[in-house]
């Protein structure tokens, strides 16, 4: 027995004892790698980007001049660039509102009215599109929306071509065919991002206790009143979570506006064109600051509405 | 032990000399190859038989010289300039709207044409072309040229359209319907020159002498024409395959295009043909240029010589729908055929305004609108401003 006590404890044991006595050190060691990731890779690249936006570009040679200037931001506020920002923000807002309106009933049905088997089918149906390639789905939509595409054929079969033409004749959002109009682009965005709206709302609705609904009707509320005063407020954090996804994803996307639509640039495309093809990294950086600012405003507004109170 | 101040100074000096870009004169003789050559090229410009085994002009070169060819493709001239500004490449197949920018930015070096034995076989009209020759110095070896064409649907146009007006102005086409929403235009600022070329013939009182050298008034007139065009264009194209799809499924019947799309659509037996209308057309003339800090200059010179051999030139012309810079390539090439050079536009040389970078100091006018304004203004035109 004495020999066992005399044996020096192994290195691992000593380390573990040492760490046990210094909990702060242990915590620091455990947190250092993820914190370094967040600090250096994540925030570092963000700040490198922000710094770039204060440089400018030599207009002929295309080389970046590394001197502090606000001229790049002045360029950002030229009318054509403001158009790009407004166009993108409006599209993102429209897609978000439509996705919430479509997503809520589906999510409600999934959460409240289905048995376990049906719920699995719904989950599968909502997630299934996410299993295939994003590009394939967008190109498929280009064919669906084309002038000589499936939707056009469908309208012709129903003798409703006049209706389609009337919709496409609308100013601004119309165009020569669905695939070159804002309406078409809106439909594609709505399709692509809808699952990101349904799932958070569904999760929020699942958490509403059925007893609340019973209590509400026991106290004489109409179903409509229950929806307005009980369900909606409780599901609101889910709607906001979903809207953050659909809004920010639409704000940054550059592939859909390049394939469907009328070649009017969106923020993502402007970043891509200025960075990738024109080598104008400062202006690209300034452009990518825009979604950050818009999202900051959006989140502040959502917080005011009490969306994060339940967190 | 600490390094003595002298040692530190010497090593610092050595370090700085090593880090300096070599601003020496061009090579005077070719040494042994470095084993690798890095090239920035247009897609389809340097083929090693991976897409179609008949089109391979790399493997033979690699076996003969021991220089592995590494290719980085770039989709636009602006992207090429950006890549060359980053550095690390030996060669770039620059179009005329990039080459002068590269020379002005000191990104490319003078080429010693004595080290390119076949230099004299290059089409004489291209040997001293202004897009790669500055102050009598050659900054590259011509590689290939071609013209943009007016691609049209033969079901709608039974006879080839005579003028570019079918894509610039709203009108009724031969099939009785308006061209609104059925035409396309190129999605790049250099397209402003196409508008200027059109105005050069239709509004001579503007005094446009060269579509790449525009005074403020001429430039505004071109932009106005393009703003009108925005109303009838359904979508601007930059991806050839999306344009092919639009001609097949979207009811597009006329657009500026490359011979590349025309060849593919004709190959799919679509009712498509192309023409260079009376106004002429814009075109590209590409030059292989060498980076000022090229890491593998010997292999680069070997590629420059290889790039103008008649076999490569003919095969490439057949593949890309372009025209060889070595006229000997037009005869006896199996892939190109004896008619190939004429089909691809050899006879149009005089009618083509080759892409050049618009600069402030220009030859035909007092002062011209520079390229950076073309970029921002064209984005505005696309947005409807």
What is the secondary structure of B156-188 as a DSSP string? T-SS--SSTHHHHS--B-TTSSB-TTSEEEESS
Is the CB of A75 less than 8 angstroms away from the CB of B82?
Answer: no
How far apart are the C-alpha atoms of A301 and A207, rounded to whole Å? 24
Helices of type H across chain B = 5-19, 59-65, 77-86, 96-104, 124-127, 165-168, 192-202, 216-232, 240-249, 259-267, 297-307, 310-320, 340-343, 371-382
How far apart are the C-alpha atoms of B4 and A244, rounded to whole Å? 61
List the single range of A131-135, B74-78, B310-314 with lowest mean pLDDT: B74-78
Is the CB of A279 less than 8 angstroms away from the CB of B79?
Answer: yes
pLDDT of residue B44: 82
Is the CB of A279 less than 8 angstroms away from the CB of B180?
Answer: no
CB burial readout B85-108, b (16+ within 10 A) else e: beeebbbbbbbbbbbbbbbbbebb
Distance from CA of B347 to the nearest CA of A (A): 32
Over residues A7-24, mean pLDDT: 83
Residue B7 scores a pLDDT above 60: no
**CA proximity to B344, closest of B147, B132, B58, B188:** B147
Phi, psi of A112 (to 5 degrees): -110, -30
- The half-sphere exposure of B342 on its side-chain side, counting CA atoms within 13 A, is 4
- Which single residue is written with the structure tokens 């060889």? B324
pLDDT digits (tens, 9 = 90+) for A134-149: 899 999 999 999 988 8
Residue in A148, A262, A278 closest to B234 by CB: A262
CA of residue B26 relative to chain centroid, distance: 25
Chain B interface includes A165 (CB < 8 A): no
pLDDT of residue A294: 93
Query: What is the pTM (predicted TM-score) of this model?
Result: 0.78
**Chain B residue with minimum CA distance to A86:** B383
Q: Which residues 188-217 in chain A show a CB within 8 A of chain B?
A: none
Chain B interface includes A278 (CB < 8 A): yes
Tokens read off for B369: 């609108």
Neighbours of B59 (CB within 10 A): 13
Distance from CA of A224 to the nearest CA of B (A): 44
Chain B interface includes A169 (CB < 8 A): no
- Going by C-beta distance under 8 Å and a sequence separation of 6 or more, which residues neighbour residue B192? B214, B219, B222, B223, B226, B374, B377, B378
Is the CB of B372 less than 8 angstroms away from the CB of A60?
Answer: yes
pLDDT of residue B188: 85
* pLDDT grade for A86, boundaries at 50, 70 and 90: very high
pLDDT digits (tens, 9 = 90+) for B202-222: 999 999 999 999 999 999 999
| Contact residues of B toward A, CB < 8 A | 75-76, 78-79, 81-82, 85, 101, 104-105, 107, 180-182, 187, 233-236, 239, 242, 245, 249-251, 357, 359, 370-372, 375-376, 379-380, 382-385
Residue in B234, B239, B359 closest to A180 by CB: B234
pLDDT digits (tens, 9 = 90+) for B328-342: 999 888 888 888 888
pLDDT of residue B357: 82
Contacts of B182 in chain A (CB under 8 A): 176
Distance from CA of B89 to the nearest CA of A (A): 16
To test the contact with chain B by mutation, choose from A55, A57, A61 the residue with the greatest count of B C-beta atoms within 10 A, namely A61
pLDDT of residue A117: 93
What number is the ipTM of this complex? 0.75
Beta carbons of B229 and B168 less than 8 angstroms apart: yes
Beta carbons of A83 and A91 less than 8 angstroms apart: no
pLDDT digits (tens, 9 = 90+) for A216-230: 999 999 999 999 999
Residue in A263, A270, A279 closest to B235 by CB: A263
Helix (H) or strand (E) holding B118: none
Phi, psi of B232 (to 5 degrees): -105, -10
List the single range of A2-6, B36-40, B136-140, B381-385 with lowest mean pLDDT: A2-6
How far apart are the C-alpha atoms of A53 and A287, rounded to whole Å? 8
């Amino acid at each position: 027995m004495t020999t066992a006590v005399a044996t020096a404890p192994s290195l691992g044991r000593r380390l573990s004892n040492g760490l046990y006595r210094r909990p702060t050190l242990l915590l620091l060691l455990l947190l250092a790698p993820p914190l370094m990731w967040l600090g250096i890779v994540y925030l570092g690249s963000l700040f490198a980007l922000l710094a770039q936006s204060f440089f400018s570009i030599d207009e002929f040679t295309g080389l970046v001049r590394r001197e502090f200037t606000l001229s790049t931001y002045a360029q950002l506020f030229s009318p054509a660039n403001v158009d790009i920002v407004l166009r993108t923000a409006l599209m993102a807002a429209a897609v978000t509102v439509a996705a919430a309106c479509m997503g809520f009933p589906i999510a409600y049905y999934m959460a409240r009215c289905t048995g376990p088997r049906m719920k699995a089918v719904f989950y599968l149906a909502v997630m299934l599109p996410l299993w295939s390639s994003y590009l394939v789905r967008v190109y498929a939509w280009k064919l669906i929306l084309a002038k000589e595409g499936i939707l056009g054929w469908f309208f012709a079969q129903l003798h409703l071509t006049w209706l389609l033409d009337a919709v496409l004749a609308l100013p601004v959002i119309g165009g020569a065919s669905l695939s070159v109009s804002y309406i078409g682009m809106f439909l594609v965005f709505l399709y692509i991002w809808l699952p990101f709206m349904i799932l958070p709302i569904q999760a929020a609705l699942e958490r509403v206790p059925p007893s609340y609904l019973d209590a509400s009707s026991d106290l004489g509320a109409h179903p409509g009143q229950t929806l307005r005063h009980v369900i909606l407020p409780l599901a609101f954090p889910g709607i906001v979570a979903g809207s953050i996804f659909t809004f920010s994803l639409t704000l940054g996307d550059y592939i859909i506006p390049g394939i469907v639509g009328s070649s009017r640039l969106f923020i993502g495309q402007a970043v891509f064109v200025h960075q990738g093809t024109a080598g104008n990294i400062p202006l690209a950086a300034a452009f990518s600051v825009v979604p950050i600012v818009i999202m900051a405003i959006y989140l502040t507004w959502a917080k005011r509405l009490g969306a994060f109170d339940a967190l | 032990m600490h390094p003595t101040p002298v040692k530190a100074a010497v090593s610092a000096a050595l370090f700085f000399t090593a880090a300096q870009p070599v601003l020496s004169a061009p090579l005077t003789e070719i040494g042994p190859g470095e084993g690798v050559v890095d090239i920035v090229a247009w897609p389809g410009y340097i083929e090693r038989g991976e897409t179609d085994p008949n089109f391979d002009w790399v493997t033979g070169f690699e076996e003969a010289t021991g220089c592995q060819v590494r290719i980085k493709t770039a989709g636009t001239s602006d992207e090429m300039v950006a890549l060359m500004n980053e550095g690390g490449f030996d060669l770039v197949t620059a179009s005329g709207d990039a080459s002068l920018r590269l020379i002005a930015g000191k990104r490319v070096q003078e080429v010693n044409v004595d080290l390119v034995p076949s230099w004299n076989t290059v089409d004489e009209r291209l040997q001293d072309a202004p897009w790669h020759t500055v102050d009598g110095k050659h900054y590259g070896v011509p590689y290939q040229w071609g013209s943009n064409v007016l691609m049209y649907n033969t079901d709608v146009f039974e006879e080839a359209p005579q003028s570019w007006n079918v894509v610039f102005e709203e009108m009724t086409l031969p099939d009785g319907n308006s061209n609104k929403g059925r035409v396309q235009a190129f999605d790049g600022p250099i397209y402003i020159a196409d508008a200027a070329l059109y105005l050069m013939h239709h509004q001579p009182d503007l005094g446009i002498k060269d579509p790449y050298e525009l005074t403020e008034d001429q430039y505004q007139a071109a932009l106005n024409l393009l703003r009108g065009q925005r109303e009838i264009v359904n979508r601007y194209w930059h991806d050839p395959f999306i344009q092919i799809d639009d001609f097949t499924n979207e009811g597009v019947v006329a657009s500026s295009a490359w011979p590349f799309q025309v060849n593919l659509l004709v190959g799919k037996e679509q009712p498509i043909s192309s023409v260079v209308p009376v106004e002429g057309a814009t075109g590209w003339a590409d030059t292989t240029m060498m980076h000022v800090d090229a890491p593998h200059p010997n292999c680069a010179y070997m590629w420059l010589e290889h790039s103008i051999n008649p076999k490569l030139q003919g095969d490439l012309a057949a593949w890309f729908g372009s025209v060889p810079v070595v006229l000997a390539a037009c005869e006896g090439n199996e892939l190109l055929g004896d008619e190939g050079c004429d089909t691809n536009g050899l006879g149009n040389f005089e009618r083509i305004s080759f892409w050049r970078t618009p600069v402030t100091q220009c030859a035909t006018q007092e002062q011209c609108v520079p390229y950076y304004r073309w970029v921002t203004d064209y984005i505005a035109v696309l947005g409807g401003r």
